[in-house]
Structure 1
Amino acid sequence: MGADMRFRGVISPVVVPDTPDHKLDIPSYERSIDRMVDAGVDGLFVLGSSGEVVFSTDGRRDQIIAESRRIIDGRVPLLVGIIDTETERVLEHGRRALELGADALVATAPFYALGGPAECEEHFRILRDELDAPLFAYDIPVCTHTKLSWQLLAKLGREGVLAGVKDSSGDEASFRMLVMANAADGGNMSILTGQELVVDGAYLYGADGSVPGLANVEPYGYVRMWQAAQVGDWATARAEQERLNRISRIFNVTSGVVGYAGGVGAFKTALWLMGIFNSNTMPRPVKALEGDNVDAIEAVLKDNGLL
């Protein structure tokens, strides 16, 4: 797919199923990817936050990309996270991802050795110069401790450095300013929201798509919401969003867990209960949800017609 390709619609991040001995569960992975593609998603994003990128060795990253490419088989674009601490490491991941069939690359700001706006800008310019693929900036300051300003992102889009932005910052004002700036520049970038509970609002003010982790559990509603937004049916878009938000209670009904265990752990537990994953195993050292937490998620799924 060409470097000038636009990415729009529902680009679902892919939650990774693990076997009890912490290997990639390929049959479960096939079921999940096929289900999302059959539901009508417009692309898949692997090796992001939901895709265990920071838990994965280089060998496991390679396996996830290769299996994703094989299963997708050209049906939708494959976006691959090349997330790492600093530029040279990210470049290595990017080269390998392209060898394995990535259609686009997704990178965060550098982290751990913290810099400033100048270093972030240079980081993305180097990646674009040395990697022959559409490049997305992934704005996730909760993990990188750096917020990418909308002004910088708009500048990099205007100058052809970035093909798009995946915004998981939670800063809706900044996101809206970026959408406006991108539109004023002629819509050079695909601006995607990662805020899965307010996607309808993002579509209303011009976002090009969404990257909702909850689409692993319920892809059909996100596809219907996107389709409704394309024809200006905002009542349907709102209804779909509110239904999805009720399903998202799987994150709120657990107790005694925080962070990855409660978020991605809820995804994996729901997918396990629905028969898509063979287990809800988490990457070490994270413990899988069990007992009352599993029962609580099961109740939410039943209340919303998913079981």
Structure 2
Amino acid sequence: MPQPLRAPAPSTLPFAERLAGIHAATIVPMAGPDFAIDGPSLERHLHAVATRPGIRGLLLNGHAGENFVLDRAEKVAVIEAARRVVPAGCLIVSGVNAESSLEAAREAAAFEAAGADGLLVFPPNSWALGHDPECVVLHHRTIAAATGLPLMLYGAPVGAGAMAYDAATLRRLAGLDQVVAIKEGSWEVAQYEANLRLLTSLRPDFKVLGSGDEHLLTSYIIGSFGSQVSLAAVVPDLVVALWNAAEAGDWGAARQCHEALYPLAVAIYRDAPGGRATARIKHALHHLGAIPDPCLRPPQPPLDAGERKRVEGALRRATA
């Protein structure tokens, strides 16, 4: 497999430049009847993922990290745990996810104090039902005013309703100086390319990270500065190998990696019922022996036998 073309980014580089390559979106192990965070298991998970060759950083408190059911103190604890155990050069981005812009701003300030290098701003879930475009700009401005950290946009899947930003909204958000990149998760290739072309035409320095786990190969063919993906927390070596092959222009090798990765992406993200990715990721990590307990907080139930079988079969293929 081709060797990486980019050396590990030193921390002296600007934040946006350090987004190159593969960044793993991590989970939060939990245990016990109260579903409390399992601190030792969390530290082992973060360290194990961050120290895999080719992993350039971590996305903490993302969807895979159950950010919608953690309170602010718990999210801070996740960042602090990462700072204790990951290599010094590992980039730490934390998600900010709150329905209230005021709470999102409080999260941003707390995450900066805890040691995050940058913030990924998730759209509030209520926006899926519809919203005034002014809400989007005000939300990001409110967060920006609370922190000096660089901000990333979250490009929601096209199936997420109004949470997916249209071109006019992206134009306005790209005009905010603190916003430097997007985790582009449109989950649809044509929309990914349209957003990539729009944002880089507005700001050539803007970093677009192709981060739809099912179509990483296609994103890399079109163009991507890096990726923040939860599959990199499950099979990091395979995701890094795909990136390295694409960087080297070895599309035959990239296709081989894609063929191994694709069934796992489908089993985790596409198979019905939807919205089960975190549960399936946790089961995969538990099956690999990486975490002791695959439990996650209600209202998510555990996997049924059919889900477990599909995830385990795809995992065997990905790790063969």
Q: Is the 8 A contact 2:180 2:207 kept in 1?
A: yes
In structure 2, the residue corresponding to 1:55 is in which secondary structure? coil
Report the counterpart of residue 138 of structure 1 in structure 2.
154
Q: Which stretches of structure 1, 4 residues or longer, exceed 6 Å deviation after superposition?
A: none
Report the counterpart of residue 258 of structure 1 in structure 2.
273
Report the counterpart of residue 20 of structure 2 in structure 1.
8
CA distance in 2, matches of 1:296, 1:152: 38
Report the counterpart of residue 35 of structure 1 in structure 2.
48
The offset of 1:268, in angstroms, is 0.8
Q: Which segment is superposed worse, 174-183 or 278-287?
A: 174-183
Structure 2 counterparts to residues 153-302 of structure 1, below 5 A? 153-157=170-174, 159-185=176-202, 187-251=204-268, 258-260=273-275, 262-302=276-316
Q: Is the 8 A contact 1:150 1:175 kept in 2?
A: no
Provide closer, same or farther for how the CA distance between residues 150 and 74 of structure 1 changes in structure 2, counting only shifts above 3 A: farther
- 1:89 matched to 2:103? The reply is yes
Root-mean-square deviation (Å)? 2.6
**Number of residue-to-residue matches in the alignment:** 303
Provide closer, same or farther for how the CA distance between residues 181 and 73 of structure 1 changes in structure 2, counting only shifts above 3 A: same
The offset of 1:155, in angstroms, is 4.6
The offset of 1:276, in angstroms, is 0.3
Q: Is the 8 A contact 2:31 2:293 kept in 1?
A: yes
Report the counterpart of residue 3 of structure 2 in structure 1.
none
CA distance in 2, matches of 1:55, 1:126: 22
Provide closer, same or farther for how the CA distance between residues 297 and 60 of structure 1 changes in structure 2, counting only shifts above 3 A: same
Q: Is the 8 A contact 1:182 1:188 kept in 2?
A: no
One-letter code aligned to 1:10? I
Report the counterpart of residue 19 of structure 1 in structure 2.
31
Q: Is the 8 A contact 1:12 1:41 kept in 2?
A: yes
Q: Is the 8 A contact 1:62 1:97 kept in 2?
A: yes
One-letter code aligned to 2:227? S
The offset of 1:259, in angstroms, is 3.5
One-letter code aligned to 1:203? Y
Q: Is the 8 A contact 1:226 1:237 kept in 2?
A: yes
Structure 1 residue corresponding to 2:78, chosen from 53, 59, 64? 64
Structure 2 residue corresponding to 1:123, chosen from 136, 139, 155? 139
The offset of 1:35, in angstroms, is 2.6
Unaligned segments of structure 1, at least 5 residues? none
Q: Is the 8 A contact 2:238 2:318 kept in 1?
A: no
The offset of 1:291, in angstroms, is 4.0
The offset of 1:263, in angstroms, is 1.7
In structure 2, the residue corresponding to 1:49 is in which secondary structure? coil
The offset of 1:228, in angstroms, is 1.6
CA distance in 2, matches of 1:148, 1:79: 21
Instruction: Name the % identity.
Output: 21
CA distance in 2, matches of 1:13, 1:145: 24
One-letter code aligned to 2:118? A
Q: Which segment is superposed worse, 39-48 or 29-38?
A: 29-38
CA distance in 1, matches of 2:223, 2:190: 13
The offset of 1:12, in angstroms, is 1.3
CA distance in 1, matches of 2:184, 2:270: 26
Q: Is the 8 A contact 2:214 2:266 kept in 1?
A: no
